[in-house]
Amino acid sequence: MPVADQPKTEYFFSMYGTAVRYTTSSSLLAVPVEELLRHFRRNSLGESVPLTLCFQAVQDRAEIPPILSPAARHLCSGTGVPAGGRPEDELPYTVSQDRGRLIVDFHDAGMFVIDRAQGSAEGYLIKPQRMPASLIEYLFHLVLIELLRSRGLYTVHATALKKNGLGILIPGNSGRGKTTSFISLLRSGYQYLSDDHPLFRDAGDYVELLPFPIKINVTEDTIAFFPELRDAPDHLLHPRFPKRAFYAEEVYPTSIGACCRPALVLFPQVVDAPRSHLEPLPKSRAMELLLPQALLVYDAEVARREFQVLAKLVQQVECYRLHFGRDILDLPKLITPLLERTK
Q: What is the pLDDT along the chain (343 residues), one digit of tens a residue?
A: 455 556 789 999 999 999 999 999 999 999 999 999 999 999 988 777 899 999 999 999 999 998 999 999 999 888 754 444 455 557 889 999 999 999 999 999 999 999 999 999 999 999 999 998 889 999 999 999 999 999 999 999 999 999 999 999 999 877 778 899 999 999 999 999 998 899 999 999 999 999 999 889 898 889 999 999 999 888 888 876 667 889 888 898 877 899 999 999 999 999 999 999 999 999 999 999 999 888 777 888 888 999 999 999 999 999 999 999 999 999 999 999 999 888 7
Q: Largest alpha-carbon pair distance within the chain?
A: 63
Same domain for 143 and 201, yes or no, is no
Last residue of a domain, one of 109, 128, 151: 151
Same domain for 115 and 224, yes or no, is no
Last residue of a domain, one of 151, 185, 211: 151
Same domain for 67 and 204, yes or no, is no
Same domain for 197 and 281, yes or no, is yes
Report pLDDT digits (tens) over 222-243.
999 999 999 988 888 887 666 7
Same domain for 282 and 195, yes or no, is yes
Same domain for 101 and 235, yes or no, is no
Full residue range of the structural domain in which residue 274 is found: 155-341
Report pLDDT digits (tens) over 140-187.
999 999 999 999 999 999 999 999 999 999 998 777 788 999 999 999
User: DSSP states of 149-174 as a string?
Assistant: GGGT-EE-SEEEEEETTEEEEEE--T
Same domain for 169 and 251, yes or no, is yes
The Cα 177–Cα 266 span in angstroms is 11
Residues 6+ apart with CB under 8 A from 117: 100, 150
Which whole-number Å values give the CA distances from 281 to 178, 267, 319, 333, in the listed order?
A: 17, 9, 5, 20
This model's pTM is above 0.75: yes
Residue pair 103/38 in contact by the 8 Å Cβ criterion? no
Same domain for 142 and 43, yes or no, is yes
DSSP state of 127: -
Q: Where are the alpha helices (DSSP H) in the chain?
A: 27-36, 133-148, 178-186, 220-225, 227-230, 248-251, 283-290, 300-316, 331-341
Our CA dihedral for 251, 254, 259, 263, rounded to 10 degrees, sits at -100
The backbone region for 195, taken as left when phi is positive above 0, alpha when psi lies in -120 to 50, beta otherwise, is: alpha
Same domain for 141 and 282, yes or no, is no
